Amino acid sequence: MTSSYDIKGTLDDLTAGITGEADRFGFTPRELADQLQFVAIDYVVAQRDHQSSTIRGVVLKNLEYVIDGDENAIGRRITILDDDAVEACFGQYPSSLLKLHGTEEYGDVFVPAHQELEVSAIKKMATARFRSGQPGLFKAEFQPTGLERFGRCDRAEKISILQSLAAEDAPLLKKLLQRVVQNLKNTFQINDGQGGRNQRVNAGFVSPADWQLINGVLDIIWPIDNGQMHSHMMKHARQIVDQVIIYVKCDPDNPPLDSDREYLFDSGWFSSILTYRHQINTLRKAVLFIEERILKLEASTDRSTKIVGQRLERLRLKALYPLHDWFTELKRRLNEADYRTGNENVRRPTGGVIGFPDVPRLKKGLPQSAITLKLLHALANYSGKKVPPNKGVKKVVLPET
């Protein structure tokens, strides 16, 4: 008997489904199917992880249940904790090990304990401070629970460790759990309000399975380096994404029902992902263009002269750093599925959205120098909010242990 997370189709089904589409992207159907099956596996795993992710309010409620009541029975109550709550007690995702101290305008950020999110949040905080005229250095505060060294233990071992701590010093364990609860409220950005409690832990922390699937398919058939996808190719790319979903979900005895949707995924997400990928490629090339100019100046015989030094400084401050920040922010939006950038109220795990202009329309055949200048003009003329506040985040002092 198959589970809801098994791939229900066969590789032959997938091969047949993409026949007529694969050759548009330079593959035979079998060659492409062989690569797409691994994207399909990742898709199944992403769906499973999302469904197994606990509701945030439940995580907090279970922790609060363990904290309340007779301290002598706290060890017995530990066993009701869900996996996400147990992991948080040991300083693991979804809790935050890192608090980034912001500015008055750009609030503190409690980053979920996930390496990619931590790196992204640090880069974004540096950009926010730089654009606000603040010092580039900022305080990153480590928030340990004291149990991090046991992070690789399995659930049973972790429960046993917590119960042993309860037997040795129940008041200390209670303080630790209170700290975990406050840490999670900060990380989920819900504080004492109700907003966000009914979301799953992974919501907003991990990009949706369909988003990952679309991006994974495009990585194969249209790598970012390819630039903008021609409009006449988009329908073929959409068909391939659809066929991967059918390969994963379609039981041959129970074909998908017809609906009002043209595709089995959000076509708007597809367009957003394509746009981000094209913009990222445009910014990457501009950054490389400026870096090459800097390297040439640094290698010139006039390197030590005042004029060349001033040109180098101007290139870095006025061109390289702003373009690189723009490039980094677009990559973050793609990785975090942040397509609602106009909505400041969206809770973002890496902090508030950093404002940048739209990438200008560029005529085909423009030299790279002209493209780079257009991007720099767009930055210079941008009048939007560069550093919106982190909505839903309050500065909270954690209780001392």
Tens of pLDDT, residue by residue over 47-95, are 999 999 999 999 999 999 999 988 889 999 999 999 999 999 999 999 9
Say yes or no: 174 and 226 in one domain.
no
Q: By three-state DSSP, how is residue 397 classified?
A: coil
For residue 401, pLDDT over 60 is answered with no
Say yes or no: 245 and 143 in one domain.
no
User: Is residue 228 in a domain?
Assistant: yes
Chain mean pLDDT for the chain: 90
Say yes or no: 65 and 133 in one domain.
yes
Say yes or no: 112 and 24 in one domain.
no
Give this prediction's pTM.
0.89
Contacts of 228 (CB under 8 A, 6+ apart): 278
How many other C-beta atoms can be found within 10 angstroms of the C-beta atom of residue 247?
24
- Mean pLDDT (whole number) for 327-341: 94
User: Is residue 340 in a domain?
Assistant: no
User: Is residue 381 in a domain?
Assistant: no
Q: Is the peptide bond before 94 cis (omega within 30 degrees of 0)?
A: yes
Q: By three-state DSSP, how is residue 233 classified?
A: helix
Q: Is 128 exposed, middle or buried (0-12, 13-18, 19+ CB in 10 A)?
A: buried
User: Is residue 199 in a domain?
Assistant: no
Confidence of residue 397 (pLDDT cuts 50, 70, 90): very low
User: Is residue 326 in a domain?
Assistant: no
- Mean pLDDT (whole number) for 18-41: 97
Say yes or no: 25 and 69 in one domain.
no
Say yes or no: 180 and 83 in one domain.
yes
User: Is residue 107 in a domain?
Assistant: yes
The pLDDT tens digits of the residues spanning 86-107 come to 999 999 999 999 999 988 788 8
For residue 85, the enclosing domain spans 56-188
* Predicted pLDDT of residue 197: 87
Domain total of the chain? 2
User: Is residue 363 in a domain?
Assistant: no
Q: Which residue would you say has higher pLDDT here, 385 or 124?
A: 124
- Mean pLDDT (whole number) for 134-162: 91
For residue 400, pLDDT over 50 is answered with no
User: Is residue 318 in a domain?
Assistant: no
User: What's the Cα-to-Cα distance from 265 to each of 181, 208, 219, 238, 259, rounded to whole Å?
Assistant: 36, 11, 17, 9, 12
Which of 16-20, 108-112, 294-298, 305-309 has the weakest average pLDDT?
305-309
Confidence of residue 347 (pLDDT cuts 50, 70, 90): confident
Say yes or no: 26 and 148 in one domain.
no
Confidence of residue 383 (pLDDT cuts 50, 70, 90): confident
Signed CA dihedral, 11, 12, 18, 24: sign only: positive
CA 150 to chain centre: 26
The pLDDT tens digits of the residues spanning 259-290 come to 566 889 999 999 999 999 999 999 999 999 99
Q: Provide, rounded to the nearest whole percent, the portion of the chain with pLDDT above 90.
A: 74
Q: Provide, rounded to the nearest whole percent, the portion of the chain with pLDDT above 70.
A: 91
Tokens of 354: 């950093």
User: Which residue, 193, 149, 192, 107, is CA-closest to 391?
Assistant: 107
Which of 14-28, 132-146, 379-393 has the weakest average pLDDT?
379-393
Say yes or no: 113 and 133 in one domain.
yes
Contacts of 369 (CB under 8 A, 6+ apart): 289
Say yes or no: 127 and 163 in one domain.
yes
Say yes or no: 123 and 156 in one domain.
yes
Out of 229, 249, 269, a domain closes at 249
Say yes or no: 60 and 35 in one domain.
no
Say yes or no: 49 and 112 in one domain.
no
The pLDDT tens digits of the residues spanning 207-246 come to 999 999 999 999 999 999 999 999 999 999 999 999 999 9
* Predicted pLDDT of residue 370: 97
For residue 2, pLDDT over 50 is answered with no
For residue 365, pLDDT over 60 is answered with yes
* Predicted pLDDT of residue 115: 94
Confidence of residue 192 (pLDDT cuts 50, 70, 90): low
